[in-house]
Amino acid sequence: MISTQIKEFTFQNCLMNASGALCMTEKELSALLDSNSGSLVTKSCTMNYREGNESPRYFETELGSINSMGLPNLGIEFYMKYSIENQSEKPIFLSIAGLSLEENILMLEKIQDSSFIGLVELNLSCPNIAGKPQTGYDFERTNEVLEKVFSFYKKPLGVKLPPYFDEIHFNEMASILNKFPLYFVTCINSVGNGLYIDFETESVVIKPKNGFGGIGGKYVKPVALANVRKFYTLLNKDISIIGCGGIENGQDAFEHILCGASMLQIGTQLMKEGVSVFDRIHTELQDIMIHKNYNSIADFKGKLMNL
């Protein structure tokens, strides 16, 4: 009932993890693979192993989360090998987040030359590396990156974007993305460089960057919905939207799809609840669809009404 499609890829259901959430180690990835998710994405990786930032680097709040992980990951060889060895009827997304264009190209060359048959999520929006701007906020650079990537890379690829807040920025980014044969666009990464504080102790709650970090969860849902909606209306219809941001229950999932999402990623709530979150949200979304008389996602995808 909630199966979905991104070009030639069919997913048994539209739910998956967001990159970063429980997807770094073999154990975590296998739990996702065995779960009721329709897909999974690996932790954003670099060429080589990275330890990441100092702890504490992740903190849960009543309404969401703040993180400054600093790209801890086991290196591309591990994630590529894992995704090749576990390719099944559950397609796998491989997330890459090189610290430079050159590093991304090197990783994509490796993937191109391998027997990987999944999708690459090219992360243009990590907010937690001190001194490294988020590529997605530099329009010229984003255009240059995509030109270089598509000059040689021929396998299925999409991009993960940061949130935008300005009409002009939506239009500019969409007109760049529309020039390329992207499979999907994931909206949104965390809202970068937020600050959460502990009122009692009068201090920040994570150690890196004096407490500044990416915000997820309930705080970001309206921003996520706006980005999904904008890009759904602005992008060529053959570029699918993957919605990410503040999905905690079936209603949140329904709203993302109504805005135009074909697939849904769960980050903060997966961290809070573990992989059983997929069973719960699956059931809740199905119940809503039954109640509203919808048989498939296509029946309401993108059909948000204006007043």
> Which residue is catalytic, options 35, 37, 44, 125?
125
Q: Which of residues 200-229 bind ligand DHB (CB under 6 A)?
A: 214
Rounded Cα–Cα distance for residues 167 and 304 (Å)? 19
Taking CA 265 as the corner, what is the angle to CA 261 and CA 266, rounded to the nearest 5 degrees?
135
> Which residue is catalytic, options 126, 187, 244, 259?
126
Q: How far is the CB of 51 from ligand DHB (least distance, A)?
A: 11
Instruction: Kindly determine how many residues on this chain lie close enough to bind ligand DHB according to the rule CB under 6 A.
Output: 15
Our finding on whether 123 is near ligand DHB (CB under 6 A) is: yes
Nearer to ligand DHB, 207 or 280 (CB): 207
Q: Which residues contact 127 (CB under 8 A, 6 or more apart)?
A: 134, 162, 189, 190, 192, 193, 213, 214
Burial class of residue 110 in the structure, from the number of CB atoms within 10 Å of its CB (0-12 exposed, 13-18 middle, 19+ buried): middle
Taking CB under 6 A as the binding criterion, the range among 64-72, 171-179, 223-231, 286-294 that sits at the site for ligand DHB is 64-72
Our finding on whether 127 is near ligand DHB (CB under 6 A) is: yes
Our finding on whether 70 is near ligand DHB (CB under 6 A) is: yes
Catalytic residue check, 55: no
Q: How far is the CB of 186 from ligand DHB (least distance, A)?
A: 10
Tell me the Cα Rg of the chain.
Answer: 18
Q: State both tokens at 167.
A: 């009409």
Nearer to ligand DHB, 104 or 125 (CB): 125
Taking CB under 6 A as the binding criterion, the range among 6-14, 120-128, 175-183, 289-297 that sits at the site for ligand DHB is 120-128
Rounded Cα–Cα distance for residues 120 and 158 (Å)? 6
Count the neighbouring beta carbons within 10 Å of the beta carbon of residue 163.
21
Contacting residue, 14, 24, 71, 187, with ligand DHB by CB under 6 A = 71
Nearer to ligand DHB, 4 or 128 (CB): 128
Rounded Cα–Cα distance for residues 138 and 148 (Å)? 15
Our finding on whether 126 is near ligand DHB (CB under 6 A) is: yes
- Angstrom distances, CA of residue 302 to CA of 187, 257, 263, 305: 14, 6, 12, 9
Q: How far is the CB of 130 from ligand DHB (least distance, A)?
A: 11
Our finding on whether 186 is near ligand DHB (CB under 6 A) is: no
Contacting residue, 21, 80, 97, 177, with ligand DHB by CB under 6 A = 97
Which string of x and - marks every residue 266-295 that binds ligand DHB (by CB under 6 A)?
A: ------------------------------
Indicate the pairing of strand 261-266 with strand 64-67. unpaired
Catalytic residue check, 126: yes
Q: State both tokens at 289.
A: 């669809």
Q: Can you point out the beta strands (E) in the chain? A: 4-6, 9-11, 15-17, 40-41, 58-61, 64-67, 92-96, 119-123, 157-161, 184-187, 191-195, 197-198, 203-204, 212-217, 240-244, 261-266
Nearer to ligand DHB, 177 or 285 (CB): 177
Residues annotated as catalytic (active site), given as ranges: 125-126
* Interface residues toward ligand DHB, by CB under 6 A: 20, 44, 68-71, 97, 123, 125-128, 189-190, 214
